[in-house]
Amino acid sequence: MTSVSVKRLTTQDENFWSELDGLLAWEGVSDEQVAGAVKEILTNVRRRGDEAVVDYTNRFDRMSVQSMDELDIPQARMQEALARMPADERKALEFSTQRLFAYHEYQRAESWSYTEPDGTLLGQKVTPLDRVGLYVPGGKASYPSSVLMNAVPAKVAGVEEIIMVVPTPDGEINDMVLAAAALVGVDRAFAIGGAQAVAALAYGTDTVPQVDKIVGPGNIYVATAKGMVFGTVGIDMIAGPSEILVVCDGATDPDWVAMDLFSQAEHDEDAQSILVSPDAAFLDKVQQSIDRLLPEMEREAIIRQSLEARGALVLVENLEEAARVVNYVAPEHLELSVEDPDELLENIRHAGAVFMGRYTAEAVGDYCAGPNHVLPTSRTARFSSPLGVYDFQKRSSLIMCSPAGAASLGRYASTLARGEGLTAHARSAEYRMKK
């Protein structure tokens, strides 16, 4: 049994916080060459539409199609994939979809308004986005669960049309992705990917309708393209590597905790798994579990590299100090594997999703518990939220003045507008005061 060398940190060390900073440091790749290539693709697709999309798809995905028609994935094709799906996987996908809908229903915002004594109405009208683009990666990283997680909140919000794009390199198409799309009600799909797919969705072409927002994960070309079209359309957060932070009081089975760390680490070499505990002996036990269990894992090499490069076992004084570490890290996934998770939660301010108690594996949240698995990474949980229905709804302020309200509000508006030197503002308010 080779030992896995996972970094040990302790808050007692006077350099602890700067060491923690070093461990967390992650800069998204910002490559000038990628940016140049993406800019050119965006410009070409904007100018030449379908023709450019077809050219790039033939080149990058090694296809040989003549027109966009051949890249249209008809609804019937998605339904076929669903019909062909093995029964147990279909049942699991249906179970997951149903639970996602149930949870996300709670997130739907409703319009509201109130009327003041003088008859003036104030409020907020909530409306869904009209049309949303869903990017699904091709090849290995193509997950049906990701289709569900991105589409369900849009559906609950009331988005009328969901357009999916998924590259099919060498013509290879992922049936599970199509089945998930059929299950969740994706309206149209195209076999395109990369920056060219993002451009087609952002600007629209003769074949691909222009959308109002683009969501879903992708490689560096896709992420760069999303950053560049932001403003023309909305985008979701651009995700960094996946992370988990487990807080354990020392009384959970160390094998369980080790496997939870693995479940994050197996995503990719840059994924980050951190265990925080006030029990030094427990940290040793988890290290032993890691050493013992790792050779059994299918994705052993990835897990080892991730744990050795970016993992850590952190000794803290007590659970209060653990909460301080958590709030600094603002982890994407937080597991509170402790006796009283409710009490500890009171001190938690920043985390994407919190898995409470010894019986809650992070993995159930990835698939079927109900909450979304698209979560803020790289400390962005300090200011952002899981993907949700609120990402597919937007608000319009409503103001309807009664004549009395126009008079009383107009007076103050006029004073403030004149104070700022904006006299047309002042006069437009004053007109309504005369009557």
* H helix or E strand, kind and range, residue 393: strand 393-400
Distance CA 157, CA 70 (A): 31
Query: Among residues 196 and 306, whose Cβ is nearest to its own copies?
Result: 306
Smallest CA-to-CA distance from 393 within 110, 105, 202, 149 is with: 110
Contact 195, 220 (CB under 8 A): no
Half-sphere exposure of 133 (CA within 13 A, CB side): 31
**Dihedral angle, C-alpha 93, 95, 98, 99, nearest 10 °:** -110
Query: Among residues 27 and 66, whose Cβ is nearest to its own copies?
Result: 27
| DSSP class of 175 | H
Query: Among residues 57 and 96, whose Cβ is nearest to its own copies?
Result: 96
Distance CA 142, CA 163 (A): 16
- Annotated binding-site residues for substrate read 242, 264, 267, 333, 366, 420, 425
Query: Among residues 34 and 345, whose Cβ is nearest to its own copies?
Result: 345
Minimum separation from the CB atom of position 15 to its own copies (A): 18
Question: How wide is the angle at C-alpha 217 spanned by C-alphas 213 and 219, nearest 5°?
Answer: 120
Minimum separation from the CB atom of position 162 to its own copies (A): 14
Q: At what angle do helices 75-84 and 175-184 cross, to 10 degrees?
A: 110
| DSSP class of 233 | B
3-state helix, strand, coil split of the chain in percent (to 5) is 50, 15, 35
- Annotated binding-site residues for NAD(+) read 135, 196, 219
- Annotated binding-site residues read 135, 196, 219, 242, 264, 267, 333, 366, 420, 425
Tokens standing for residue 290: 């890691």
Distance CA 282, CA 249 (A): 9
Distance CA 327, CA 257 (A): 20
Which entry of 243, 332, 335, 362 is annotated as an active-site residue?
332
Minimum separation from the CB atom of position 360 to its own copies (A): 4
Query: Among residues 17 and 60, whose Cβ is nearest to its own copies?
Result: 17
Half-sphere exposure of 379 (CA within 13 A, CB side): 12
- Annotated binding-site residues for Zn(2+) read 264, 267, 366, 425
Which entry of 333, 335, 362, 373 is annotated as an active-site residue?
333
Distance CA 391, CA 149 (A): 12
Minimum separation from the CB atom of position 165 to its own copies (A): 18
Minimum separation from the CB atom of position 377 to its own copies (A): 10
| DSSP class of 356 | E
Minimum separation from the CB atom of position 65 to its own copies (A): 29
Tokens standing for residue 41: 């693709």
Q: Is 362 a catalytic residue?
A: no
Minimum separation from the CB atom of position 355 to its own copies (A): 5
**Number of helices and strands in the chain (H, E):** 17, 15
Query: Among residues 65 and 356, whose Cβ is nearest to its own copies?
Result: 356
Q: Is 343 a catalytic residue?
A: no
Tokens standing for residue 46: 């904007």
Query: Among residues 93 and 189, whose Cβ is nearest to its own copies?
Result: 93
Q: Which residues are catalytic?
A: 332-333
